Structure 1
Amino acid sequence: MNHSTWRTHRARELANEAVEYDQEYIDAWLAGDLGQAVHDRRIELGLSQTELAERAGMTQPQVSRMEGGDTVPTLPLLRRLAKALDGSLNVAIDEEESHVTFTPHAA
């Protein structure tokens, strides 16, 4: 989706008109949600990207790309991330929306 198309979609959303996004945009949105959830939980724990990478068996650039929504990790990596971030990873995917959160483990 180019910027012009995005602006048109955004204007329709703001006018409360129905907007349809292509699958590529929806997939990118999910990757962004996941990256934001990882970033938020990492910051909440006071970890640097390097510290999270060490805990999860990754490299710092991999963490950076994931937090930026540029890549989607595999299921085994998601498991390691949940452990490294001391929480449960919750992903809810519906036809048109998704939510990604971390639920901290009880102290």
Structure 2
Amino acid sequence: MAGHSTWDTLKAKRLRGEAAQEHPEYTQAVRDIDLGNKLREIRTSRNLTQAEVAKNAGITQPALSRIELGGGVPTLDMLDRIGRAMGVRFVISVGDSQADPIDLLAG
């Protein structure tokens, strides 16, 4: 359970406002936390409860809570459903930020 221990350590440091050491597991955990924070910000800015979003997205409230806390990463399908439940469309960018952008879904 080293990953879980690493996650708990990072989460505790972030909640205290401390910087985390650079480590691949920390880097991934930071991305997970950032995604969860962004989802929570969007949800609360739209005055939606976790229960409302979860119900409309077809997931459980505890599952949404875990995602918002950075403890779970949603699949693209789940992220799409969460976005629809909140009335937003997510645009996700992956890869080298300096490379030429290609829209895979463009016709």
Structure 2 counterpart of 1:60: 61
Structure 1 counterpart of 2:34: 33
- Closer, same or farther in 2 for the Cα pair 1:56/1:32, shift >3 Å? same
Structure 2 counterpart of 1:75: 76
Structure of greater relative contact order (alpha carbons < 8 Å, 6+ residues apart): 1
Instruction: Letter of the 1:90 partner, please give it.
Output: V
Uncovered stretches (5+) of structure 2, i.e. residues with no partner: 1-5, 97-107
Matches of 1:62 and 1:10 in 2, distance apart? 27
Structure 1 counterpart of 2:52: 51
How many residues get paired? Answer: 84
Cα drift, residue 90 of structure 1: 3.0
Identity rate, percent: 34
Instruction: Letter of the 2:44 partner, please give it.
Output: I
- Can you list the C-alpha shifts for 1:31-88, whole angstroms capped at 9, x where unaligned? 1111011101110111111001011101010011010000101111011111111112
CA RMSD after TM alignment: 2.7
Equivalent pair of 2:48/2:86 in contact (CA under 8 Å):
no
**3-state SS of paired residue (1:89):** coil
TM norm structure 2? 0.66
User: Which structure is higher in strand share?
Assistant: 1
